[in-house]
């Protein structure tokens, strides 16, 4: 029997449901976990404030006959407690840039929890959203390195009508910030157009993007990465390279990416 697995932290939206629906199409059974993982939050991040909407999440998932919702407790995942748990350390080469530079603890925490969740679920396929492309690439490499018989399936970014990628943190935005948040997608569209018109110099494409990311956004990072190594490229842009960008709107951090 094929078993799909969609690990989430809850507060489900259309992006999550697209992963669930792909798993439902491709597997006989699907497990969706809902667990807010303390190991991937830094000391000054929003673990306590992270939205927890379990009843609403279960109601959304009840429409799928082949889905089982799993809501483990912390002792189920970390029997010795999160601070005493043995963890996975992600190699520096794949994690030192992009979100790994801004959140140096993050990918160690993600890999640790996903590995532990997969140990218990034992899925055939693991579904990851491409909005968090670096996370997908790192988890894919993790499964390869441990030679686990789990296929990691990348799922396309799901966007609002105005282009903003779905994220649980979008609800932190004020109405005015929500309008400005579309600057990320406009920057992506500008990059796409620039490359389509023949520009392959990454510095020139990045410069074009930056003109769309003005106040009140504060750029965290913007660059173009090799899709496998996740290193910033120092060559012409090739097909499948990734535009990587993140910015703050007030206290809310938004990320996005685009595959050329």
Integer Cα distance of 94 and 144 in angstroms: 14
Beta strands (DSSP E) in the chain are 3-8, 29-34, 67-70, 125-129, 151-155, 218-225, 242-249, 252-259
CA angle 155-119-77, nearest 5°? 100
d(CA 174, CA 250): 9
Q: Is 180 a catalytic residue?
A: no
Rounded-to-5 percentages of helix, strand, coil across the chain: 40, 20, 40
Left (φ > 0), alpha (ψ -120 to 50) or beta: where does 10 sit? left
Strand pairing report for 242-249 and 218-225:
antiparallel
Could you tell me the two tokens for 247? 């910015």
The residue annotated as part of the active site, out of 13, 16, 180, 238, is 16
Residue 4's CB is within 10 A of a number of other CB atoms, namely 27
Q: Are 257 and 248 in contact (CB under 8 A)?
A: no
Catalytic site positions:
16
């Amino acid at each position: 029997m094929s078993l799909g697995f969609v690990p989430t932290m809850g507060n489900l939206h259309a992006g999550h449901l697209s992963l669930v629906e792909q798993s439902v199409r491709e597997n006989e059974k699907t497990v969706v976990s809902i667990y807010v993982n303390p190991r991937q939050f830094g000391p000054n991040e929003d673990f306590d404030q992270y939205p927890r909407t379990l009843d609403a999440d279960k109601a959304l998932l009840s429409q799928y006959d082949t889905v089982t919702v799993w809501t483990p407790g912390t002792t189920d995942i970390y029997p010795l407690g999160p601070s005493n748990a043995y963890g996975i350390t992600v190699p520096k080469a794949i994690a030192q840039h992009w979100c790994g530079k801004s959140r140096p603890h993050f990918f160690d925490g993600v890999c640790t929890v996903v590995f532990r969740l997969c140990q218990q679920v034992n899925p055939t396929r693991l579904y990851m959203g491409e909005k968090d492309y670096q996370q997908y690439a790192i988890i894919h490499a993790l499964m390869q390195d441990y030679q686990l018989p789990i296929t990691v399936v990348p799922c396309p970014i799901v966007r609002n009508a105005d282009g903003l990628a779905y994220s649980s943190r979008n609800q932190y935005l004020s109405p005015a910030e929500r309008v400005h948040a579309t600057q990320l997608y406009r920057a992506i569209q500008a990059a796409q157009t620039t490359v389509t018109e023949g520009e392959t110099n990454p510095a020139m494409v990045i410069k074009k993007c930056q003109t769309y990311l003005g106040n009140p956004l504060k750029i965290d990072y913007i660059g173009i990465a090799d899709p496998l190594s996740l290193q910033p490229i120092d060559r012409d842009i090739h097909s499948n390279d990734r535009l990587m960008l993140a910015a703050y709107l007030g206290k809310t951090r938004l990320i996005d990416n685009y595959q050329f």
